[in-house]
Amino acid sequence: MKQIPLLINGEFVASQSSQLIDVTNPANNSVIAQVPCATEQEVQQAIASAKEAFTTWRNVAVPERARLMMRYQALLKQHHDEIAEILSQETGKTFDDAKGDVWRGIEVVEQAMNIPALLMGETVENVARGIDTYSYIQPLGVCAGITPFNFPAMIPLWMFPLAIAAGNTFVLKPSEQDPMTPTRLAELFIEAGAPKGLLNIVHGGAREVDQLLTHPDIKAVSFVGSVPVGQHIYKTATDHMKRAQCFAGAKNHSVIMPDANKAQVLNNLVGASVGAAGQRCMAISVAVFVGKAKEWIPELAEMIGKVKPGLWNDKEAGYGPLISPRAKQRVLSLIEQGKAEGATCLVDGSDFSLAGHEEGNWVGPTVFTNVTEEMTIYKEEIFGPVLCCMEADELEDAIALVNRNPFGNGTSIFTASGAAARKYQHEIEVGQVGINVPIPVPLPFFSFTGWKNSFYGDLHAYGKQAVRFYTETKTVTSRWFEDDIPHGPNMTISLR
């Protein structure tokens, strides 16, 4: 059985741990590899390697760091489809969806290539007579990233390229459910010429995460995952005097106005709600139909009901299986709870099974109507191919509904009215807003800016905020006295 290695000090090494976790193919739950829970000593070695590498990497010229990212970006593009295939086989994502995962990560590496401009400080001459003040942007040290299963290429690439380009070193703890993709990303990073110790990878679960969170040499921690884990990581990291950015749960609403383009609305909602089996933190899981737009719900349900899950290499498949039997059972339980609490299940995917792969984690597309705010399927992030349809009389009612929700990751509005769109974007209490765009994930020169219970921290992922998260600002105030200016000619070529 293939065992996923650790990456310590530039070498892929077999863990000495006897505690192994099965990595399974979600389509049939066959074991395709095993991932070790790194020993305490191995985690320590990874951190020590990163700390040692930082002493020299921080002094490497910024353009040279940018060139490393250029070489890395070129290799990622060259191996794009290969990475996507690995990703598909361990997550169950369709090949096209997996390619999108890889590409959105490459875009962040392209932003890291721009690191010289992003690290520029500020200067003011003559803040007082003969005194100048200027600032430098300098790295923190060893940073850590804890990434989820649903985007095993994109989210690691949100983290370590920008952190390393800014002059830090990094310890990555990827999801134990799909570690092969991050391992391949690391292999290509080393091939691009990354010095030893810049990137280290340890595997495991809560114990290994807590060791990173409490270790004095880790200066900043980035996390993407669920609410309870995010809260624990944020509190533990900050209690140990570390910076932390923790991206947690979501309940993303799409508001549909009756003047919107109906065909565009329906087509966009299908993909945004059940695409990737609903396992996206920016998936639309609640559609709020305003006024007469509610008449479109039956047609939407019919379209969603025609989406067929399938294998990663089936070009007709709309999406793949859920990541694990546990995830499947949770989604099925929430579907049954929705029925029991009085919601109307227009499309029920509970009994879906793929012929020849009955042991897989399959859930068919599901649509509920008559959903209320008190229902569990509304209050909880289902993280499955389930769409809750709700109704509102006016735009103001829809805005109030969205703003009452404790999450604030993403939202969208579909409308032909510029006034309605502006009102929505101005009044809505959500960090990422789409206007006739269903999943408004910003490109990397902006930042990923979830609000409320969707984020714990101050500075967000990628973009300028990430550079600030991974750096400190040093401000220098200087004064030079004219009496110190040397007089007389210097007849040599020396600058002394």
Which residues are known to be catalytic?
A: 281
What sign results for the dihedral spanned by CA atoms 290, 294, 299, 303? Answer: positive
DSSP secondary structure letter of residue 289? E
DSSP secondary structure letter of residue 411? E
What are φ and ψ of residue 88, in 5° steps?
-60, -40
What are φ and ψ of residue 57, in 5° steps?
-65, -35
For residues 457 and 438, give the distance between their C-alpha atoms in angstroms, rounded to a whole number: 26
CA dihedral 434, 436, 437, 439 (to 10 degrees): 70
Amino acid letter, residue 486: P
Amino acid letter, residue 353: S
For residues 2 and 18, give the distance between their C-alpha atoms in angstroms, rounded to a whole number: 14
User: Residue 381: CA atoms inside 13 Å, Cβ hemisphere, count?
Assistant: 25
Tokens of 286: 């609640």
Per DSSP, what are the bridge partners of residue 34? 3, 22
Amino acid letter, residue 51: K
For residues 383 and 278, give the distance between their C-alpha atoms in angstroms, rounded to a whole number: 5
Q: How wide is the angle at C-alpha 487 spanned by C-alphas 484 and 491, nearest 5°?
A: 130
Per-residue three-class SS string for 107-138: HHHHHHCCHHHHCCCCEEEEEECCEEEEEEEE
* CB-count burial class (<10 Å; 0-12, 13-18, 19+) for 404: exposed
What sign results for the dihedral spanned by CA atoms 40, 46, 51, 52? Answer: positive
For residues 97 and 403, give the distance between their C-alpha atoms in angstroms, rounded to a whole number: 31
For residues 299 and 76, give the distance between their C-alpha atoms in angstroms, rounded to a whole number: 41
For residues 466 and 245, give the distance between their C-alpha atoms in angstroms, rounded to a whole number: 9
For residues 168 and 55, give the distance between their C-alpha atoms in angstroms, rounded to a whole number: 9
